[in-house]
Amino acid sequence: MKPRSLLLAFSLCLAAAVSGVAAEAKLQPFFNGKDLTNFKAEGAATFWRIENGVLIGENDAAKKGHMLWTEKEYKDFVIEFDVRWKGTTERGVDTGIEMRKPGIQLQLGISGSLKVDMSGSFYVGKPGYPEIGRAKEAKTLMKPEGEWNTFKIQAKGNTFTCWINGKKASEYTDEKFSGAAPIGLQIHPGVVMKCEYRNVKLAEL
């Protein structure tokens, strides 16, 4: 390779590296640990509360579900958070992070349809969980139920990526989910469950 070509290649690699660092550096605290600023709080009080800087979601007595949506719509973004959950029945916890239009979700806990833990996998409605978007090694990346795990989700272009505790767990590409939308934290209806979030950070890309 000629010196000029080598220099150009090095410059492009350096620019890409700097760009990646810059994108990471843009992550900013999103949940302030005190109230539901940045979220649509109307109707949320029945299902969500804040204790010691932790955002806690639980079903009501009727086992109704709820989506806690962000005020703003997002298209390309990175969100990172610590999460833990607990189910008090055999069915366990069925929750997740909803994003984009017409709606793709990063599963947390037990899939209601498959009856197995699909944490870190992408759910796309019908046909469910595409094989290519499943986090098949999630169990080896996660701490036991009830302990905090750090998840990071990136939606960039038509590609969705999930990391669990710093390790890449899954990736799914689908141009169908291209529309900007609020990000939602789900409490699934029909189950008895509790999910907790802290250190929620977000960056637009």
Q: Could you report the per-residue pLDDT of 35-77, keeping only the tens digit for each? A: 999 999 989 999 999 999 999 999 988 999 999 999 999 999 9
Mean per-residue pLDDT, 103-132: 95
Cβ within 8 Å of residue 188, ≥6 positions away: 65, 93, 94, 95, 112
Q: Residue 22's pLDDT is what? A: 39
Pair 27, 78: CB distance under 8 Å:
yes
Report d(CA 125, CA 102) in Å as an integer: 10
Structural domain spans, the chain: 29-204
Which amino acid, residue 195? C
The helices-and-strands tally (H runs, E runs) of the chain is 2, 13
Q: What pLDDT shows up at residue 31? A: 98
CB 193, CB 59: distance < 8 Å: yes
Given a cut of 60, whether residue 95 has pLDDT beyond it is yes
How much of the chain exceeds pLDDT 70, in percent?
A: 86
Please give the average per-residue pLDDT across 104-132, as a whole number.
95
18 pLDDT above the threshold of 80: no
Say how far apart CA 38 and CA 193 lie, in whole Å. 24
If DSSP codes are grouped into helix, strand and coil, which group holds residue 198?
Answer: strand
DSSP character at residue 57: E
CATH class of 29-204: mainly beta
Say yes or no to pLDDT of 143 above 50. Answer: yes
Instruction: Please give the model's pTM, rounded to 2 decimal places.
Output: 0.87
What pLDDT score was predicted for residue 20?
A: 44
Alpha helices per DSSP H over 117-187: 138-141
